[in-house]
Amino acid sequence: KEVETQAKLANVVVLATGGTIAGAGASAANSATYQAAKVGVEQLIAGIPELSKLANVRGEQVMQIASESITNENLLQLGRRVSELADSKDVDGIVITHGTDTLEETAYFLNLVEKTDKPIIVVGSMRPGTAMSADGMLNLYNAVAVASSKEARGKGVLVTMNDEIQSGRDVSKMINIKTEAFKSAWGPLGMVVEGKSYWFRLPAKRHTMDSEFDIKNIKSLPDVEIAYSYGNVSDTAYKALAQSGAKAIIHAGTGNGSVSSRVVPTLQALRKDGVQIIRSSHVNAGGFVLRNAEQPDDKYDWVVAHDLNPQKARILAMVALTKTNDSKELQRMFWEY
Ligand SMILES: NC(=O)CC[C@H](N)C(=O)O
Q: Is the pLDDT of residue 149 over 60?
A: yes
- Tell me the pLDDT of the chain averaged across its residues: 97
**Is 5 an annotated catalytic residue?**
no
Residues in the chain: 337
CA 289 to CA 309: how far, in whole Å? Answer: 10
- pLDDT, average across residues 131-156: 98
Name the residue type at position 131. Answer: A
Coil, strand or helix: which one is 80? Answer: helix
Shortest-distance atom of ligand 1 to CA 101? 9
pLDDT exceeds cutoff 80 at 5 = no
Catalytic status, residue 254: no
Q: pLDDT, tens digit, for every residue of 254-313?
A: 999 999 999 999 999 999 999 999 999 999 999 999 999 999 999 999 999 999 999 999
Q: What is the ipTM of this complex?
A: 0.97
How confident is the model at residue 305, as a pLDDT?
A: 98
**Pick from 280, 50, 82, 324: which is nearest to 172 by CA?**
280
C-beta of 54 in contact with ligand 1 (< 6 A): no
Residue 181 Cβ inside 6 Å of ligand 1? The answer reads: no
What's the pTM value of the predicted model, to 2 decimals?
A: 0.97
Q: Does the CB atom of residue 128 touch ligand 1 within 6 A?
A: no
pLDDT digits (tens, 9 = 90+) for 161-219: 999 999 999 999 999 999 999 999 999 999 999 999 999 999 999 999 999 999 999 99
Report the Cα–Cα distance between both ends of the chain, in Å, rounded: 46
**129 CB less than 6 Å from ligand 1?**
no
DSSP string, 192-228: EETTEEEE-----S--GGG-S--GGG-S----EEEEE
Q: Is 126 in the pocket of ligand 1 (CB under 6 A)?
A: yes
Q: Catalytic one among 97, 100, 160, 254?
A: 100
Q: What is the pLDDT of residue 1?
A: 57
Residue 11: phi and psi, rounded to 5, are -100, 115
Q: Give the residue among 222, 17, 211 at the shortest CA–CA distance from 114.
A: 211
Interatomic CA distance for residues 286 and 200, integer angstroms: 21
pLDDT at 122: 99
State the amino acid at position 239 in one-letter form: K
pLDDT of residue 4 exceeding 90, the answer is no
Q: For 278, which DSSP code?
A: E
294 close to ligand 1 (CB < 6 Angstrom): no
d(CA 217, CA 50): 38
- Closest ligand 1 atom to residue 181 Cα is 1
Amino acid identity, position 31:
S
Question: Distance, CA 300 to ligand 1 centroid (Å)?
Answer: 38
pLDDT(87) > 90: yes
CB atoms within 10 A of CB 261: 6
DSSP code per residue over 9-50: SEEEEEEEEESGGG-B-SSTT-SSSSBSS-S-HHHHHHT-TT
CA 114 to chain centre: 13
Residue 6 has pLDDT above 70, yes or no: no
**What DSSP element (H or E) covers 160?**
strand 158-161
Give me the helices (H) in the chain, please.
2-8, 41-46, 51-54, 72-87, 103-113, 136-147, 236-243, 264-272, 297-300, 310-321, 327-336
In tens, the pLDDT along 53-77 reads 999 999 999 999 999 999 999 999 9
Query: What separation in Å is there between the alpha carbon of 66 and the centre of ligand 1?
Result: 6
**pLDDT computed for residue 179 by the predictor:** 97
Give the Å distance between the CA of 294 and the centre of ligand 1.
35
Cα–Cα distance for residue pair 97/22, rounded to 1 Å: 8
The CA distances from residue 105 to 139, 145, 203, in Å, are: 19, 23, 17
State how far the Cα of 157 lies from the Cα of 110, in Å rounded to an integer: 7
Distance, CA of 66 to CA of 49 (rounded, Å)? 26
Specify the pLDDT at position 312.
98
Mean pLDDT calculated for residue range 119-140: 98
